[in-house]
């Protein structure tokens, strides 16, 4: 084996791969997030310092999790190959590395909020299999270095490689199917009215604005979940407790029996940069949160509705927002005429008009606790604000940045939002010239976005077009540039383009 560095490196890689795959499969049959690979990934997400997180979101957008997993895979395989190379005199270096990985996975799994103590089992199994596979490969090599040794090595390496692929694929398939509770799901579908078609004039999609309703598949997605939680509608329960007179324990049948509301709401993420894509609109169906709270009887002194998801994410919504009769705040189970897609919180999530999603829109909701603001939430621990009303914003969708246009008259169009108040006016300025008022789309409600368009005259040359919105309280979007931390970005969106003769 001393003379075969390539085989040693490959042994390390194969042992690591088969170990991770075995852990992944065992986890898939119980709790998918207990997969050592995913547990470490989830912990990395939770432990990442804020600047790193922002960088990842900015650089990779919704692909950030794929990039993380790919980076982890490369790191593990490179280290495993290195440990294999070091194992010249025997398997010890590789065994140490694999055990180290195993410990890392166990610690990560043991500290995940959504996993019980059994969550470490997949990591322990993976460690055992990894150590065994590596030892067998390295030891087998020491016995025979000739052609037979070569053949034996290729055989066992091939078997291990194939085993890793089969186990890993089986694990991924098993965790994505899950147990479907057909009856509960059918009851859910029956309670959701078909999507109300948007009235004409509510968007300028032909000019490049979004359509009024964002399709579920196109709705922006932001969450900390490395694998999408797949909850079973039949066994879903929501606990309502804390500062209440009567604790409640609600199941889906109970929720579906209650009076429901169907309303379009525009959701916005606090991480949306000026001009960014994290804003979408859907018609949500659900039960007013206030109804459930009234039933539980909120005790005096409660300030915050502290919500927890099945995967341990927490958010704190100011109580006055969810009990404000002027704005929808729902335990939502329907989205655009369908049950919530798994990515958007199936079977039940919160949606609150006028607050950024991180503190008002918990997906995969399982627990509501009435507390004071002393109880600190996931994003607050990471430096985001305790209160975060959505800031009035406008975005230019046409022209696109750096478009080359024909000089002369051209249409500028975009979208603006100011939930829960709504948009009163959008103005556009070219090259810091006077602000001119744009035409607005038909208003649906203050809880939804509004599209705008205007004709401008562009002489040949480079131009900067900027927009600003004024909400129904009369407040105009500030030009002052501020980043997304701690409570949402401000500033005008501006687009540079060139006009040619």
Is there binding between residue 220 and ligand MTE (CB under 6 A)? yes
Determine contact, residues 239/308, Cβ cutoff 8 Å.
no
> 344-380 as b/e, with b when 16 or more CB fall inside 10 Å?
bbbbbbbbbbbbbbbbbbbbbbbbbbbbeeeeebbbb
Give CA–CA dist 156/392, Å, rounded: 62
Q: Which does 284 bind (CB under 5 to 8 A by kind): Mo ion, ligand MTE, none?
A: none
Token code pair at residue 52: 């790193």
146 Cβ contact list (under 8 Å, min separation 6):
none
- Bridge partners of residue 398, in order along the sequence: 413
Kindly write out the interface string for residues 294-333 of this chain, putting x where it contacts ligand MTE by CB under 6 A and - elsewhere. ---------------x-x-x--------------------
User: Residue 307 CB, nearest distance to ligand MTE (Å)?
Assistant: 8
Is there binding between residue 490 and ligand MTE (CB under 6 A)? no
Q: Which does 220 bind (CB under 5 to 8 A by kind): ligand MTE, Mo ion, none?
A: ligand MTE
Q: Name the phi and psi angles at 500, rounded to 5.
A: -125, 150
Burial class (CB in 10 A: 0-12, 13-18, 19+), 196: middle
**Residue placing its CB nearer to ligand MTE in the complex, 5 or 178:** 178
Q: Which stretch binds Mo ion (CB under 5 A): 48-56, 67-75, 169-177, 349-357?
A: 349-357
> How far, in whole angstroms, is CA 120 from its chain's centroid?
25
User: Residue 90 CB, nearest distance to ligand MTE (Å)?
Assistant: 45
Is there binding between residue 357 and Mo ion (CB under 5 A)? yes
**Residue placing its CB nearer to Mo ion in the complex, 347 or 357:** 357
Rg over alpha carbons for the chain, rounded to the nearest Å, is 27
User: Residue 340 CB, nearest distance to ligand MTE (Å)?
Assistant: 8
User: Residue 284 CB, nearest distance to ligand MTE (Å)?
Assistant: 10
**Residue placing its CB nearer to ligand MTE in the complex, 212 or 358:** 358
Kindly write out the interface string for residues 331-350 of this chain, putting x where it contacts ligand MTE by CB under 6 A and - elsewhere. -------------x------
User: Residue 343 CB, nearest distance to ligand MTE (Å)?
Assistant: 7
Identify the residue among 226, 269, 415, 444 touching Mo ion (CB under 5 A). 269
Nearest partner of 134 among 153, 148, 151, judged by Cα: 153
Token code pair at residue 87: 């194992």
Residue nearest to ligand MTE (CB): 357
Nearest partner of 270 among 50, 472, 32, judged by Cα: 50
Identify the residue among 46, 114, 203, 223 touching ligand MTE (CB under 6 A). 223
Helix (H) or strand (E) run with residue 306 in it: strand 304-309
Give CA–CA dist 489/269, Å, rounded: 10
Site residues for ligand MTE per CB under 6 A: 219-225, 267, 269, 309, 311, 313, 344, 357-358, 361-364
């Amino acid at each position: 084996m001393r003379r075969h560095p390539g085989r040693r490196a490959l042994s390390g890689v194969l042992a690591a791969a088969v170990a991770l795959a075995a852990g992944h499969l065992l986890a898939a049959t119980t709790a998918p997030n207990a997969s050592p690979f995913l547990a470490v990934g989830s912990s990395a997400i939770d432990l990442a310092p804020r600047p790193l997180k922002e960088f990842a979101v900015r650089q990779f957008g919704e692909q950030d999790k794929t990039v993380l997993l790919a980076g982890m895979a490369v790191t593990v395989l490179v280290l495993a190959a290195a440990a294999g190379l070091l194992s010249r005199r025997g398997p010890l270096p590789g065994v140490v590395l694999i055990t180290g990985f195993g410990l890392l996975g166990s610690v990560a799994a043991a500290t995940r909020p959504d996993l019980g103590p059994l969550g470490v089992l997949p990591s322990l199994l993976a460690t055992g299999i990894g150590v065994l596979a590596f030892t067998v490969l390295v030891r087998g090599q020491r016995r025979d270095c000739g052609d037979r040794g070569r053949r034996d090595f290729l055989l066992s390496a091939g078997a291990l490689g194939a085993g890793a692929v089969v186990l890993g694929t089986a694990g991924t398939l098993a965790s994505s199917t899950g147990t479907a509770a057909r009856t509960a799901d059918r009851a859910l579908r029956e309670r959701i009215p078909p999507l109300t078609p948007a009235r004409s004039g509510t968007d300028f999609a032909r000019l490049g604005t979004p359509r009024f309703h964002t399709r579920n598949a196109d709705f922006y997605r932001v969450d900390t979940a490395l694998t999408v939680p797949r909850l079973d509608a039949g066994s879903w329960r929501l606990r309502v407790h804390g500062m209440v007179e009567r604790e409640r324990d609600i199941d889906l049948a109970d929720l579906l029996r209650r009076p429901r509301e169907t309303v379009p709401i525009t959701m916005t993420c606090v991480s949306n940069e000026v001009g960014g894509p994290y804003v979408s609109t859907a018609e949500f169906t659900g039960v007013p949160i206030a109804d459930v709270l009234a039933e539980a009887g909120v005790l005096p002194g409660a300030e915050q509705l502290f919500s927890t998801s099945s995967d341990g994410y927490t958010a704190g919504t100011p109580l006055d927002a969810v009990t404000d009769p002027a704005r929808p705040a729902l335990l939502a189970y329907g989205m655009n005429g369908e049950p919530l897609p798994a990515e958007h919180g199936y079977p039940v999530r919160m949606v609150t008009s006028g607050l950024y999603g991180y503190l008002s829109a918990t997906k995969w909701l399982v627990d509501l606790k009435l507390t004071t603001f002393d109880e600190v939430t996931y994003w607050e621990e990471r430096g985001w604000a305790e209160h975060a009303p959505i800031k009035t914003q406008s975005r230019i969708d046409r022209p696109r940045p750096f478009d080359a246009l024909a000089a002369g008259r051209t249409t500028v169009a975009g979208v603006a939002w100011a939930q829960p108040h709504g948009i009163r006016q959008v103005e556009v300025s070219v090259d810091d010239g006077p602000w001119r008022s744009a035409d607005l789309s038909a208003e649906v409600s203050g809880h939804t976005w509004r599209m705008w368009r205007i004709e401008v005259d562009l002489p040949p040359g480079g131009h900067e077009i900027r927009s600003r919105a004024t909400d129904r309280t009369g407040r105009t979007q500030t030009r002052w540039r501020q980043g997304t931390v701690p409570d949402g970005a401000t500033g005008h969106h501006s687009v540079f383009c060139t006009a040619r003769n």
